[in-house]
Amino acid sequence: MKNSTPGHQAHHHFDDAERAAVYRNILARRDVRGQFLPDPVADDVLARILTAAHFAPSVGFMQPWSFVVIRNQHVKQRVHDAFTVANAEAVQMFEGKQREVYSGLRLQGILEAPVNLCITCDRDRAGPVVIGRTHIKAMDIYSTVCAVQNLWLAARAEGLGVGWVSIFRQSAIREILSLPERIIPIAYLCVGHVSHFLDQPELQTAGWRQRLPLDELVHFDGWGGDRPDGVVLRDALRRAQEDASRGIPPT
């Protein structure tokens, strides 16, 4: 029988300050590229953020992730070279003003960040048949991305910046890091102390894209569906997004 006493219920809730801190962390998280400092990341701090990643949810409790910690400058240089090749290809995929803006963006901090991390997915770790992956085979990849997000938020709580670098061929990263064929590199992250965090996402400030209105992305009871009482939630969504855009946690 469930314990329904007030004390039992309170145990499962954060107090107002704790709740605000969680939301503040989410709103303050940024993709860091050009603000890394050379200060080393202490092993106990690195252990904490890796532990946060390891406690991410995973479908079927697969825990498909592994973590390659990269501190060697020669390895970083090889990864940077792979980025440079892919970035030169990428710039040609845009046209006009977009190509001009893209060319001026700083999209990585591979050499500057004291720690690089490659988070990988082992698709065979839990065997051929996995609870929850029987019909959607990509659930192991999605689970690994949850580990990335856990690490990112834990790093922000530690005052560390994280930048996700995705502009290179997976085959190049697999070769540089000697990954087995079955292992998929999911996220290559630059991690370190930073001089500052940006107030807004860099791509938003650069005019590349703006944050979409959340109230326009919510549907009721099916795609495109609405409800008479939906206007109340949409108003609440607009107010919440306005506050969040100013970095104001919910109260």
Helix or strand run (H / E) with residue 188:
strand 183-193
> Residue 114 corresponds to which tokens in the numbers above?
């004291």
Q: In Å, how far from its chain's centre is CA 78?
A: 23
The sheet carrying 115-122 orders its strands as 65-70, 115-122, 183-193, 160-165
pLDDT band at 28 (very low <50, low <70, confident <90, very high): very high
Instruction: Judge residue 119's burial from the number of C-beta atoms within 10 Å of its C-beta, 0-12 exposed, 13-18 middle, 19 or more buried.
Output: buried
Note the pLDDT of residue 12: 84
pLDDT at position 153: 98
Q: Say how far apart CA 49 and CA 39 lie, in whole Å.
A: 17
Residue boundaries of the structural domains of the chain: 28-210, 211-246
The residue with tokens 């953020």 is: 49
Is residue 161 within 8 A of residue 36, CB to CB? The reply is: yes
Alpha-carbon torsion (221, 223, 229, 235), positive or negative: positive
Percent of residues, the chain, with pLDDT higher than 70: 96
pTM, 2 dp? 0.93
Contact, 23 vs 249, CB < 8 A?
A: yes
Average pLDDT, the chain: 94
Mean pLDDT over 212-218 rounds to: 97
Nearest to residue 78, comparing CAs of 180, 184, 188? Answer: 188
Question: For 128-148, what is the mean pLDDT?
Answer: 97
End-to-end Cα, the chain, rounded Å: 33
In the predicted model, what is the mean pLDDT of residues 49-77? Answer: 98
Interval 45-71 mean pLDDT = 98
Burial of 103 (0-12, 13-18, 19+ CB in 10 A): exposed
How does pLDDT run across 149-198, given as a tens digit for each residue?
A: 999 999 999 999 999 999 999 999 999 999 999 999 999 999 999 999 99
pLDDT of the residue at 6:
56
Q: Give domain 28-210's CATH architecture.
A: 3-Layer(aba) Sandwich (3.40)
**What pLDDT is recorded for position 5?**
55
**pLDDT tier at 1, thresholds 50, 70, 90:** very low
Give the tens place of pLDDT for each residue, 81-107.
Answer: 999 999 999 999 999 999 999 999 999
Tokens at 149, concatenated? 């997000």
CB-based contacts of 107, cutoff 8 Å, min separation 6? 33, 83, 87, 165, 167
How far is Cα 101 from Cα 175, in angstroms, rounded to an integer?
A: 31
Token couple for 206: 């650069």
Confidence of residue 10 (pLDDT cuts 50, 70, 90): low
Residue 167: what pLDDT?
98
Per-residue pLDDT for 140 more than 50?
Answer: yes
Residue 248 pLDDT exceeds 50: yes
Above 90 in pLDDT, residue 11?
A: no
CB atoms within 10 A of CB 151: 27
Q: Is the pLDDT of residue 109 over 50?
A: yes
Higher per-residue confidence, 4 vs 160? 160
- Is the pLDDT assigned to residue 110 strictly greater than 70? yes
pLDDT at 188 (0 to 100): 98
